[in-house]
């Protein structure tokens, strides 16, 4: 009888959403970096820069010198932490990039199969190309945590 109850409970957990074991991996940060075309380098996190913006592919921010460098790609780094080494087989987070003005979804990516090493930290890169003239919203959801970043990109005369 006990064996039958155990099998039934395992079957119920396998097919019932919301009853899965809680993840030991936590979303810790989201940073955004521009790929500068002339230098071939990535910027520091532009969402942490005071007065950041971009017009006609050219970034600007208070106290920053980008020279005459332009960008056409954006790297989003999604960082996770855990108490130690672990592997999460299923979905850990959902990343959505959308147009801030229209709400149109540009990119939706599931982050799954995440390995966090003994150091307790893992970073997942997501590269976005060709949206340097749109104001973007980057949103990452993981468990009960949501992190959003705004990217005030504009083009025009």
Residue 157: predicted pLDDT: 54
Confidence of residue 8 (pLDDT cuts 50, 70, 90): very low
pLDDT in tens, 49-74: 999 988 888 888 898 888 889 999 99
Per-domain residue ranges of the chain: 20-154
Strand 71-81 to strand 58-60: parallel, antiparallel, or no bridges (unpaired)? unpaired
Q: What is the pTM of this model?
A: 0.82
Structure tokens at 28: 């810790």
pLDDT in tens, 127-142: 999 898 899 999 999 9
Which DSSP category does 31 fall into?
E
- Number of CB atoms found within 10 A of residue 73's CB: 16
Q: 20-154 adopts what CATH topology?
A: Coagulation Factor XIII; Chain A, domain 1 (2.70.50)
Cα 77 to chain center, whole Å? 6
């Amino acid at each position: 009888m006990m064996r039958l109850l155990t099998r039934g409970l395992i079957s119920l957990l396998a097919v019932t959403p919301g009853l899965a074991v809680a993840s030991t991996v936590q979303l810790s940060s989201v940073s955004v970096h521009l790929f500068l075309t002339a230098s071939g380098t990535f910027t520091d996190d532009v969402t942490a820069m005071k007065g950041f913006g971009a017009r006609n592919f050219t970034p600007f921010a208070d106290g920053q010198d980008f020279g005459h460098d332009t960008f056409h790609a954006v790297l989003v780094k999604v960082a996770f932490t855990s108490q130690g080494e672990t592997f999460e087989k299923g979905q850990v987070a959902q990343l959505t990039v959308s147009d801030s003005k229209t709400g149109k979804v540009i990119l939706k990516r599931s982050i799954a199969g995440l390995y966090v090493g003994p150091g307790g930290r893992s970073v997942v890169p997501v590269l976005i190309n060709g949206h340097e003239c749109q104001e973007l919203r980057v949103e990452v959801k993981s468990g009960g945590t949501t992190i959003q970043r705004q990217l005030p990109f504009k083009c025009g005369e």
